[in-house]
Amino acid sequence: MIITPQKRWFLYSLILIFLLIGVPVWAGEEGVVKGSVVNIRQGPGTTYKVVTQTKAGQVFSILEKSGSWLKIRLHNGQDGWINKDYLEVNTVQKQVTVNGTNINVRKGPGTGYAAIGKVQSGLLLSVYEEKNDWYRVNVPGLGQAWIANWLTTQTTQNNTPTNNTTPAGNTIPASDTTPMQGTITITGSTVNIRQKNTLDAPVVTKVNAGDRLSVLSKQGDWYQVRLADGSTGWIADWLAIPDNGTTPSRSDQESEVLIAPIAEGKTFKIIDTGARPILVLEGWNSTEYKISTRQETNSIVLELQGPSERNYEGKLTRLGINNIKIYPQADKAIIEMAFAYPITQSVNYIGNLKVTRILVGTAENKQLSGKVIVLDPGHASVQSGGWLDPGALGKTTGLKEKDVNLSIVFKLKTLLEADGARVVLTHAGQTYLSLAERAQVANNISANIFVSIHSNFSDGNNISGHSTYYYAPSSDPVLGSQRTSRQKLATLVQREMVKTGGRNDIGVLQANFAVLRETTVPSILVETAFLSDKTEESLLGSDAYRQKLAEGIYNGIKAYFQ
């Protein structure tokens, strides 16, 4: 072929353009993000606007190179630029598709290496290295891993870059994805539905308390749900409860083994969880029943308000229930159950649905056994003059916050220890520790959680209620990685405290408090009620109300560990 001067000039011009704007010579390569939180920009340089952020372990197809910057294909199908220092580049040898369900991916090329997660059928993976019968691949959300080649099928698209738009639901870093059927009911006031099963994922819509959604699957602490428009999304499981018939398709599923209508719109059920039975009351609010445990006879008695004509007697031997009796008594319905073992019970009342779930366990099997919990009574630090920081002072009576906080902490400590937890206090009435040193108490012993108890105060009028704080900025690699745990703990404690305390639900909030910022374990700060509100100051001065608050916080902590 003869290259004319005109053609030669055209080729030189084309090469020059490629050198200036970046040529897509990196086709067939992918990169794994190395930085904890890395900016993705509109163009190849720090002067360009940040369009999103990504985290370590994310995998992207590389489209172009321009100086020290790489153009990548984002998971939403758009393009962005990342500095090459934050990307580990691998050459794609070929691509394979997973052809099994719940397949382990491992740290090394063999079954002797530890599994670091699971992948699902249909997931497309890029192969960077072959060793014996194993492939080294990049798994979205997990990073580099090894998979047995006999569990994959090679695609025909060798050595071509992929968009890698497989949703995160196909990657299972912590637990198996469990197919489910049925519905859940939202318990949080306004709840985010997210694009993926992480708190960092974009919000696709919001739902409200009482809304029902169809469930497709469950992965760890997340439900995958079907939305009204037919699309799908993810919701944290602590913000919803499963409805009747919503059961995972595996051996530890819940199943209703007794359904007893008591009166119109009111039903008693017993659910088999494969472990401990759950008793369910539907149709009664929290003031319309009484639950008592009789340890001498290993029995539970439920007194339900409202007339009933229901009579029943039976047993469920396989659940350890030797006798069940249901009968009317004046204007009440009585349910008596005798168990074959010493029992304990914990109550979860979902107020807006008038549903109570009573989890029955063995007295010897304490739910919090082995958990290490640090409790921090707010304030009471020794000042330079020798006096103690009182915290807020009640507007009406001058009630000291430090005294309220300490009283609630002692009551909470009793409840937690009775359930098997090891409880450590940052102080028992006064302390010389700084706020950071209080947090360090939990860090030094690798506690499971840290809980700081406070009472609120506001100079404004008509402000009252309960609130719970956590802190987990994405810019902090330690705190950011605990965001799910911290928000979950705060959400559950807030929910249960509102149930027992009965005041306004201010909600779960984020704040850069020192004790939250300095803890390296999941931590929350609880604002029980307002000393600046006359009614709540009076309540906080009551020993009985402090007990209610302690029980609410205890129930939230227990729910967190369940």
Task: Kindly state the average pLDDT of the residues 430-457.
Answer: 93
Q: E strands, 174-231, where?
A: 177-181, 183-186, 190-194, 203-208, 212-219, 222-226
Cα separation, 445 vs 423, in Å, equals 11
Cα separation, 295 vs 504, in Å, equals 36
Question: In angstroms, how far is CA 151 from the centroid of its own chain?
Answer: 32
Other CB atoms within a 10 A radius of the CB of residue 562 amount to 12
More confident residue, 254 or 497: 497
- Residues 241/244/249/252 CA torsion (nearest 10 deg): 70
Alpha helices (H) along 339-471: 401-418, 435-444
Cα separation, 359 vs 346, in Å, equals 5
What are the pLDDT digits (tens) for 333-356?
Answer: 999 999 887 887 878 777 667 888
Domains 23-90 and 372-561 fall in the same CATH topology: no
Cα separation, 10 vs 547, in Å, equals 84
Cα separation, 126 vs 171, in Å, equals 14
Please, what CATH class does the domain formed by 255-362 belong to? mainly beta
What are the pLDDT digits (tens) for 156-183?
Answer: 443 333 333 333 333 334 334 555 557 7
With beta carbons less than 8 A apart as the criterion, state whether 444 and 482 touch. Answer: no
Cα separation, 197 vs 174, in Å, equals 11
With beta carbons less than 8 A apart as the criterion, state whether 76 and 47 touch. Answer: no
Q: Could you tell me the sign of the dihedral formed by the alpha carbons of 254, 258, 259, 260, in that order?
A: negative
Q: Does the pLDDT value for residue 284 go beyond 50?
A: yes
Cα separation, 526 vs 455, in Å, equals 8
Q: Does the pLDDT value for residue 381 go beyond 70?
A: yes
> What CATH fold (topology level) applies to the domain 182-242?
SH3 type barrels. (2.30.30)
Task: Kindly state the average pLDDT of the residues 379-398.
Answer: 92
Cα separation, 232 vs 224, in Å, equals 7
Residues 6+ apart with CB under 8 A from 80: 40, 41, 42, 51, 52, 71, 72, 74
pLDDT bracket for residue 230 (50, 70, 90): low
DSSP per residue, 28-84: TEEEEE-SSEEEEESSSSTTSPEEEEEETT-EEEEEEEETTEEEEE-TTS-EEEEEG
Angle at alpha carbon of residue 342, lines to 341 and 345, rounded to 5°: 115
Task: Kindly state the average pLDDT of the residues 543-559.
Answer: 92
Both tokens of 221, joined, read: 């602490």
> Of 196-200, 364-368, 400-404, 501-505, where does mean pLDDT reach its minimum?
364-368
The architecture of the domain spanning 23-90 is Roll (2.30)
**Residue with tokens 């967190």, as numbered in its chain:** 560
Pairing of strands 449-456, 523-530: parallel
Helices and strands, number each (H, E), in the chain: 8, 40
Rg over alpha carbons for the chain, rounded to the nearest Å, is: 29
Cα separation, 279 vs 47, in Å, equals 60
Cα separation, 487 vs 187, in Å, equals 15
Q: Which CATH number fits domain 92-172: 2.60.40.420, 3.40.50.300, 2.40.50.140, 2.30.30.40?
A: 2.30.30.40
The closest alpha carbon to 377, from 415, 430, 315, belongs to 430
Both tokens of 312, joined, read: 């029943």
Domain range annotation of the chain: 23-90, 92-172, 182-242, 255-362, 372-561
> Of 7-16, 165-174, 410-419, where does mean pLDDT reach its minimum?
165-174
Task: Kindly state the average pLDDT of the residues 79-98.
Answer: 82
What pLDDT does 181 receive? Answer: 58
Indicate the CATH number for domain 372-561: 3.40.630.40
Q: Does the pLDDT value for residue 21 go beyond 60?
A: no
Q: Does the pLDDT value for residue 252 go beyond 50?
A: no
Question: In angstroms, how far is CA 177 from the centroid of its own chain?
Answer: 15
Both tokens of 471, joined, read: 């802190």
Question: In angstroms, how far is CA 265 from the centroid of its own chain?
Answer: 33
What pLDDT does 355 receive? Answer: 85
**Highest mean pLDDT: which range of 38-47, 222-231, 327-336:** 327-336
What pLDDT does 253 receive? Answer: 47
Starting at the edge strand found earlier in the chain, the sheet holding 103-106 runs 152-154, 94-98, 124-131, 134-139, 143-148, 103-106, 115-119, 171-172
Backbone angles phi and psi of 417, in degrees to 5: -70, -35
Q: Does the pLDDT value for residue 251 go beyond 70?
A: no
Cα separation, 261 vs 268, in Å, equals 6
Cα separation, 536 vs 551, in Å, equals 17
Question: In angstroms, how far is CA 224 from the centroid of its own chain?
Answer: 14
Please provide the average confidence, as pLDDT, over all residues in the chain. Answer: 81
With beta carbons less than 8 A apart as the criterion, state whether 250 and 234 touch. Answer: no
DSSP per residue, 17-40: HHHHH---TTTTEEEEE-SSEEEE
Q: Does the pLDDT value for residue 212 go beyond 50?
A: yes
DSSP H or E run through 491: helix 483-501
**Residue with tokens 């990548």, as numbered in its chain:** 72
Question: 66-91 as b/e, with b when 16 or more CB fall inside 10 Å?
Answer: beebbbbbbbeeeebbbbeebbeebe
